[in-house]
Chain A
Amino acid sequence: MAGGYLVPIALIAIVLACAAIAGIVRRLVRVSLLLTLPIAISVILVSALTRPGETVLLVLGPFDITLEGVDFAGQTLVRLFAISTAIGLFTLSTDPRAFVFDLERRGLSPRFAFAVAATIEAVPALASRAGVIAAAQRSRGLDTEGSPLTRIRGVLPLVGPVLLSSLAEVEERSLALEVRAFGRPGRRQLLWWPPDRPRERVARWLLVAALAGLVAARVLGAWPAIP
């Protein structure tokens, strides 16, 4: 039973160590908790309350909370955290633009690279635009502070302007981009991309090798299956 915990906890420890080196431990923990807690709560409830087992710890109404159920919930929880912290480490420690430039210099189409970068930048712009539109509609008597029903009804006159003004902008935006040769096929000579040091290259190859090894071991049955 303990074996099911060992690997995920070891992974979390490694990720947190990396995060400490990058100086983002607190942010990482916060982001992982935010991402994982909602799912975790429902998983724990379902597993702990309903999973069949032999050793009953507690009886809550119609539900038998068994040791096996709690154990399963625990293992699932650590695995969820292992995944979310790993993903969080990547997104928090990587500058999205550096990432995109690196992809482009390795062959990604510039237009695709642009789409990724523009999407990342677009979210805050959209949020602030939505804020101004909400202010304009409230100034015309749209009630957004009130009963939940009022609030829901209040959303409709916001959707229109947010969509329409974004769309109206799209044509001029794309024309402005085209004028700057955005549509030109072929590669670009980038001014900058993140430097690739030999030890990073070695680390990457090691990781790929380790992944290949683990998959092989699993397929060949050398790695014990986790219940």
Chain B
Amino acid sequence: MLELRGATYRYAGYAHPVLHEMDLALRDGEIVGLVGATEAGKSTICLVASGLAPLSIGGELRGEVLIDGQPTTRLSVHELAQWVVIGFQDPATQRSGVAATVFEEVALGPMNLGLPVAETLARTRRALATLRIEHLADRHPARLSGGQGQLVAMAGLLAMGPRHVVLDEPTAQLDPEGSKLVAAALRDLAATGAALLIAEQRTDVLDRLCDRVAVVDGGRIVLDGPAAATLEDPRLGGWGVEPPARVRLAGALAARGLPSLADLGWPA
């Protein structure tokens, strides 16, 4: 279990903390969505949960980040990477730039861990198979579509064998086809048993995928509950979050006293 307890974090060089007394738990195998307006703190939570803040980027962290009860601050970044990894928005920045094929790119992580060749190969093949991108294995990583690039990045993270995967807006820069690819891949990722923490603006991606959704506003968690209930909460707009399309529509219909989508026979 990955846990933030009373986490207050201030970036290096900033006057004020961005996260305030934050409590967030990610149990093994759980899929948790994180929504909130920009600058509400979603990305910061992702960096703190993955340990990169403060380990890599500095800054000041008060409170605790625990994995199975052990504080993460005692580990080095590469040790921590075998427990929790983080993926970012832009597939281009997540490419190492030194791999000539997708296979090499995905194998980079296990290789860096100093694993024996057989183990590296096994992990790489497994990661490609899980995300259904074996057919991309021989392609050059820079010549893929945005969606494919994100899948390769995710496979690279998966090959590290982590128990928790944090994703900071994985579909933000993708076109509809890419988003669909990634949304499907998130399901595949979840099926491996890894816990997922997904920060997203596009609530439609989180709808029907997450067990729980937490809303972040002003560096605090203002709502944390079952996904369906949270995404249907009428206060989302006030927190700068656009509800999923079906919720918007349901709200517009209800406001006019019209029958709901379900009543009209629209399949859920």
Interface positions of A (Cβ within 8 A of B) = 97, 110, 114, 117-118, 121-122, 125, 169, 171-184, 186-191
Over the window 60-98 of chain B, the binary record of Cβ atoms lying under 8 Å from chain A Cβ atoms (1 yes, 0 no) is 000000000000000011100110011010100110111
Asked if A178 contacts B81 (CB within 8 A), the reply is: yes
Q: Which residue of B lies closest to A121 (CB)?
A: B97
For chain B, the bracket of interface size reads 35 or more
Is B114 in the interface zone, CB < 8 Å from A? yes
Q: How far is the CB of A154 from chain B (nearest CB, A)?
A: 27
Q: How far is the CB of B78 from chain A (nearest CB, A)?
A: 4
Q: Which chain A residues border B94 with CB–CB below 8 Å?
A: 173, 176
Asked if A188 contacts B112 (CB within 8 A), the reply is: yes
Interface positions of B (Cβ within 8 A of A) = 47, 50, 52, 56-57, 76-78, 81-82, 85-86, 88, 90, 93-94, 96-98, 100, 104, 107-109, 111-117, 120-121, 153, 156-157, 160
Q: Which chain B residues border A172 with CB–CB below 8 Å?
A: 88, 90, 93
A122 to B97: give the CA distance in the assembly, Å.
8
A37 to B80: give the CA distance in the assembly, Å.
54
> 10 closest A-B pairs (Cβ-Cβ)?
A184-B78, A180-B109, A181-B78, A181-B112, A117-B98, A176-B94, A172-B93, A121-B97, A173-B93, A178-B77
One of B82, B98, B107, B160 near A191 (C-beta < 8 A): B107
**Sample of 20 A–B contacts (CB below 8 Å):** A114-B98, A121-B98, A172-B88, A172-B90, A172-B93, A173-B94, A174-B56, A175-B86, A179-B77, A180-B96, A180-B112, A180-B156, A181-B77, A181-B82, A182-B112, A184-B76, A184-B114, A190-B111, A191-B104, A191-B120
A191 to B112: give the CA distance in the assembly, Å.
11
Asked if B107 contacts A184 (CB within 8 A), the reply is: no
A114 to B112: give the CA distance in the assembly, Å.
11
Q: Which residue of B lies closest to A113 (CB)?
A: B98
Q: How far is the CB of B12 from chain A (nearest CB, A)?
A: 12
